[in-house]
Amino acid sequence: MKHIELTGQIRQVGNKATVKSIRREGLVPCNLYGQGMENVLFTVSAKDLKSLTHTPNSYIVDLDLGEKKYTAVLHEVQYHPVTDEALHVDFLLVTEDKPVVINVPIIITGHSEGVKLGGKLLVSSRKLRISAYMDKLPDSVEVDTTSLQIGKQIVAGDLHYEGVTIVSPKGTIICSVRPTRATAQAAKEA
């Protein structure tokens, strides 16, 4: 999986006024936590953070907080309801010896048999939640739709990848081929 580096500054616990002044400076308050460590409060530039939050890709984040460096994943982002600016970000510490749970983009491949017969391919999920060790994490997962017929669908339970466990519910619909009006009319006439 690709890595992205973020540089931040350690901050102290503050009240609402302190957090607002941080945001006015163009910084976003962040929190890093994980098993066996104290929470680390820090700030990152809102501009730098957009390279992580405004992309369909998933990344392992290398946090540089001055004297210490951490490896983490983006856990949760709180956005402003009107401006869509990041208000607060949580990062989760990851290590090589424990599996990482992360959302990865789905890449649809192949030309479906149902589409060749006049159906329409509907993609219901753009990301899939998976768990794997850091060295086995894929940048994306491919879903082949070549054998998909009209009226059929691919769910998360149908997918299997080496070294990767799918955490998304097994009934999550990835994609399906639905009949169009023209194919439904042709079926009635036949």
CATH number at residue 22: 2.40.240.10
pLDDT value of residue 15 = 82
Task: Please give the residue range of the domain that contains residue 52.
Answer: 3-94
78 and 158, same structural domain?
no
Can you tell me the mean pLDDT for 122-137? 92
Contacts of the segment 11-17: beta carbons below 8 A, 24+ positions apart: 11/41, 11/42, 11/43, 12/41, 13/41
Using the 3D structure, point to which of 94, 113, 146 is the last residue of a domain.
94
pLDDT in tens, 47-84: 999 999 888 889 999 999 888 899 999 999 999 999 88
**pLDDT above 70 as % of the chain:** 99
The whole-number average pLDDT for the span 136-160 is: 92
At 35 the pLDDT is 84
DSSP 89-107: EEEEE--TTS-EEEEEEEE
Looking at residue 181, its pLDDT comes to 81
Specify whether 22 is located in the same domain as 78: yes
pTM of the model: 0.81
Q: What pLDDT was estimated at residue 93?
A: 93
**What integer pLDDT is reported at residue 36 of this predicted model?**
81
Same domain, 120 and 144: yes
Which of 94, 112, 127 corresponds to the end of one domain?
A: 94
* Averaged pLDDT, 28-56: 90
**Do 129 and 86 sit in the same domain of this protein?**
no
Of 94, 127, 144, at which residue does a domain stop? 94
143, 178 contact by CB (below 8 A): no
Instruction: List the CATH number of the domain containing 155.
Output: 2.170.120.20
Other Cβ atoms closer than 10 A to 188? 7
Structure tokens at 44: 């990152």
How many independent structural domains does the chain possess? 2
Distance CA 32, CA 11 (A): 12
